[in-house]
Structure 1
């Protein structure tokens, strides 16, 4: 018996409409089901494959700013998509904690309207000892971002081995 993956996760929220808007309009998730009476929304990044990966439901009782979840990380398909989110977050005034290379990923840590930390990231085919976290400049071409990530890894990070 073994766990084969994470099925879905979710947040209790104060303002369901604001959070629904953020995760659909800004992050691009699709609503697959919702029940206004129960105050719950089911969302997916690929509804044809997975009914829901993420759930929002009214009923949060923690005070604003309480640390409840470490982060939710959303995998993307390309560095261009990470850079697109960099621009979108700036245009939307979304609080970004850090734009980062982990050696094995390039991503952006950001906060949703209720202060939950999220990350969008591209997996990079490297085996890098963690934690490795260096700030990365996403205001450049994808080739230059990859070059900077490589420089940060070799100049300031632990030894790494390519993934086999």
Structure 2
């Protein structure tokens, strides 16, 4: 019986740039690495899980090739989503879309090698998926939650990807 995802990883070209991004920007902890093999192991909860994410040199696909759909990182609060919103803007990180899924609020973004990621906050409600509408994260938390609720009820199509 599967109880959850253990870890995932990317083959990369520039391990140093990617290591910096996932530690400094995303806040993950390096739990192990081997320079000779060109591999780094990361965890968001190193006291509980040795690694949830791995990077290793050796990417053979050209930039833009669709390899991984996305890696989604669950966060603990709406304030964390707002902090990532500001951090990505300050760092010049390419953001695809900031959204409500009805059952989550998230930010889709790209790491330095173009791999799509998401940071998201789970909202405890059931909403039929796909549900994706752009959300303005340049507001205080109460206004963000209010807008997310309005978007859930506004009667427009439930899936509105980036134009």
TM-score (structure 1 length as normaliser): 0.94
SS at match of 2:147: helix
SS at match of 1:66: coil
CA–CA distance in 1 between the matches of 2:65 and 2:109?
Answer: 16
Tell me the residue number matched to 2:59: 60
SS at match of 1:57: strand
CA–CA distance in 2 between the matches of 1:61 and 1:87?
Answer: 33
Give structure 1 stretches of 5+ with no counterpart: 160-164
CA–CA distance in 1 between the matches of 2:70 and 2:120?
Answer: 12
Q: Post-superposition shift, 1:157?
A: 5.8
Pairing 1:133–2:132 present: yes
Q: List 4+ stretches of structure 1 deviating above 2 A.
A: 156-159
Aligned residues: 158
Tell me the residue number matched to 1:23: 22
Tell me the residue number matched to 1:90: 89
CA–CA distance in 1 between the matches of 2:156 and 2:21?
Answer: 35
CA–CA distance in 2 between the matches of 1:73 and 1:153?
Answer: 22
Q: Post-superposition shift, 1:155?
A: 1.2
Tell me the residue number matched to 2:104: 105
Q: Post-superposition shift, 1:135?
A: 0.1
Give structure 2 stretches of 5+ with no counterpart: 159-163
CA–CA distance in 1 between the matches of 2:65 and 2:14?
Answer: 15
Task: Name the Cα RMSD after superposition.
Answer: 1.1
